[in-house]
Structure 1
Amino acid sequence: MVGRATDMAPDVAIVGGGLAGGLLALALAARRPDRRVLLIEAGENLGGNHVWSFFLSDIPVALRWLVKPLVAARWDGYDVRFPAHSRRLNSAYRSITSERFDAHLRASLPEGSILTGVAVAALDRQGVTLADGARIKAGAVVDARGAQSFPGLLGGWQKFVGQMLQLEAPHGLERPIVMDASVAQEEGYRFVYALPFAADKVFVEDTYYTTSPHVERDVLAQRIAYYAQAQGWRVKQVLGEEQGCLPVVAAGRPVLHDGADGVARIGSAVALFHPLTGYSLPTAVRLAGMLADLPDLSGRAMAKAAADYARDHWQAGAYYRLLTRMLFGAAQPECSYRIFERFYRLKEGLIERFYAGHSTGLDRMRILAGKPPVPLGAAIACLLGGGHPLARLDDVMQPQTAQTGEVEQR
């Protein structure tokens, strides 16, 4: 625990020291140094135990200062591989490790601004009640605790196991393989993700789009070992591991709030992620910047601004939810890769805007134009609201865990 200052009476109390909460704390510390911020996290480390990766074009230029100190590795391009198509793209790609995230937060926030290893029993517009009964009064309260289930939503899951591998010899990768779908397609759309952190160190993740949230850790870990062997890599040691399950949304209605109770809610609990990729970092950065620049940082003002942002984000995601319906509702699981294989034949600028969630009208028409990579009848059924049944996303997700040291890519 750091700075057990329950008598601090901060201007802003942020509950949840993950990606959304941590970015907001950093933005407030930089933009509003006159305000006292308290970041409360149930775990011992801020940011958990993850690798977050993103395209630099995902982040508005005016907000790149917020993520720049967090970046642990950077590359000027990436590769994709499919059974009938491979491509090298020039978009800048970055990765943040939770270790660096934690260290930068502790270095950037004033002493006494962080409480870790502290469970929260309740919160309201006037403050936070800890599990031990202690009460922290606050001028504004932000709930950034995330979600374990998503009632009211339909779609599927992107589940994964990733390992940081120390190799016996250099791997030979010049840039990341962001999507290797040349591997056997099992359960649903499957791809492998490889990030070269050093000449002899690579982060490899086995990822599936599926209707089940269950992560078979041992199976996926074995497939990572097989993948490394197929690349000619000899693994000396597994330095770290993560596993997780991200929601991908096709339909429904999330649990949104109007901010009337005076508590600002941010993060995955209010569906602040890309509906098809599950990526949350770009949205978390934009929202942190917007909230930190509010002229009024009262609880009521922050709650309303966050609620408006979540509502607008949900409305803007309608097109991407349609694409998710195509992926889960129209494609046969073993043929789902064809959707992404076709997508990665399009122009690079279109691909960048897609991942950033800023597809133009022309982009949207181009993605859907031509012969669909799924059966035509199934595609039409999905466009009309039909197709194969979608999974309910109110199943409880397995928590992301780590069996060993170093390392929510997304």
Structure 2
Amino acid sequence: MNGHYDIAIVGGGLAGGLIALAVRRAHPAMRVALVEAGDTFGGNHRWSWFDSDIDAAAGALLGAFPAKTWHGGNEVRFPSYTRRLEADYRSLDSRDFDATLRRLLPQDAILTGCLVASLSADAVEIAGGKRIAAARIVDCRTAPPSPHLTGGWQAFVGQTWRVHHAHRLARPVIMDATVDQIGGYRFMYLLPLSETELFLEDTYYQDTPRLDRAALERRIAGYVSGKGWKGEVIHSETGMLPVITGGDFDAHRAALEVPSVALAGARGGFVHPLTSYTVPIAVANALAIADVAADCDGPALARFLSERAQRHWSATGFYRLLGKMLFGAARPEERYRIFERFYRLREPLIERFYAARSTPADMVRVLAGKPPVPVMRAVGALLGKGAPLVQGDER
């Protein structure tokens, strides 16, 4: 099928798409394949990031995509205060991600509608008998539920609304936690896409992997009505993301590894374990792979990413500890207090936290002072093992 490729990236989500584009830009002579089971790249998602999250090289790669940009800062809302933060904010719709990849990648690199049956060191076997041969293979498919990891879940429904009159929301609201706290830490996430279009996401940090879509849609409609907005939904999405608090990372990777096949994206463990905030990590990983792709054969690239994943797991232990506190020490309806306290800290610390680049001084500052959870529950959470991250149902 389409001959022999120098590198095949399996899974055309954010991580896979960025890797394909980064390799293509760094090594135009390399033949790249981006293999996706669905009909489009990126699925049905929206990804956002702060300008401060990325350096110039990352900005150059992300600059290929038509992201929406807000230069007026952003804000958070809690029961006891509202705070405006100064960082510029950007957001990318997966439909624009798909269109850009189709425009910038060669036609023979675009392999959508290809459901993978199996992988080996030098080939991708497609259901139905087709075969894609490649010298290097990177597996970026969706990470399956893992009994080897522990934690909770971030469940959400997102909707784009077209309102009949200007909504007058001046800037993104990263968290509006003034809403009723139902089943866990709940907040609304708001993006003013235009004067009459709004993206609203109802998000929950909850113990179980269950998403009642109809209930969340009703709550979003109630929120819209409460703000005095009238309009209709023109697009929607749902998500259920793991919030990783611990586990056996080696066993998790061993269950997914194929000899000499590199693991990247969430499947490889390249996530922010607490926030599921992926753009800074995904773009840094894509650039790192592009730097070595021409000099590494398949086994060497697999080792490179395995070592990089181990370093990432070690570097993000602080966020897993905070996740244990969130799920194990805070009562579900009181979890908002942890974030309420966190957002009183200095803005550079908050930005580094989301980019998974907290300094040792940041960590001390986050943990200093009176904890927003009962001390004995905190001790119990730290000593506990946590619940395995196995998937449930969606209604």
TM-score (norm. length: structure 2) = 0.95
The 1-side partners of 2:299 and 2:61 are apart by 25
> Kindly, what percent of the aligned residue pairs are identical?
48
Counterpart amino acid of 1:202?
A: L
SS of 2:366 mapped into structure 1: helix
How does 1:68-83 map onto structure 2 within 5 Å? 68-76=63-71, 77-83=73-79
Counterpart amino acid of 2:2?
A: D
Aligned counterpart in structure 1 of residue 261 of structure 2, from 236, 260, 263: 263
Counterpart amino acid of 1:125?
A: A
Counterpart amino acid of 2:350?
A: I
1:178 corresponding residue in structure 2: 174
TM-score (norm. length: structure 1) = 0.92
**2:140/2:268 contact within 8 Å kept:** no
Counterpart amino acid of 2:168?
A: G
| RMSD of aligned Cα (Å) | 1.6
**1:16/1:39 contact within 8 Å kept:** yes
Where structure 1 has 5 or more consecutive residues not aligned to the other structure, the ranges are 1-5, 400-410
The 2-side partners of 1:350 and 1:263 are apart by 37
Counterpart amino acid of 1:104?
A: T
Counterpart amino acid of 2:290?
A: A
Q: Deviations over 1:85-106 (max 9, x none)?
A: 1100011111010111001101
The 2-side partners of 1:229 and 1:127 are apart by 53
SS of 2:91 mapped into structure 1: strand
May I ask how many residue pairs the two structures share in their alignment? 390
How does 1:315-394 map onto structure 2 within 5 Å? 315-383=314-382, 385-386=383-384, 390-394=386-390
Counterpart amino acid of 1:374?
A: V
The 2-side partners of 1:157 and 1:316 are apart by 21
**1:190/1:206 contact within 8 Å kept:** yes
Counterpart amino acid of 2:260?
A: G
How does 1:139-178 map onto structure 2 within 5 Å? 139-178=135-174
Shift of 1:259: 7.3
1:55 corresponding residue in structure 2: 50
Q: Deviations over 1:241-275 (max 9, x none)?
A: 00011110111123125978110111112221111
The 1-side partners of 2:51 and 2:125 are apart by 38
Q: Deviations over 1:297-346 (max 9, x none)?
A: 42122111111111111111111100001100110111110000000000
**1:260/1:300 contact within 8 Å kept:** no
The 1-side partners of 2:356 and 2:139 are apart by 24
Q: Deviations over 1:159-186 (max 9, x none)?
A: 0000000000111011101100000000
1:34 corresponding residue in structure 2: 29
Where structure 2 has 5 or more consecutive residues not aligned to the other structure, the ranges are none
1:392–1:220: structure 2 CA closer, same or farther, 3 Å change rule? same
**1:79/1:87 contact within 8 Å kept:** yes
**1:152/1:394 contact within 8 Å kept:** no
Shift of 1:397: 6.8
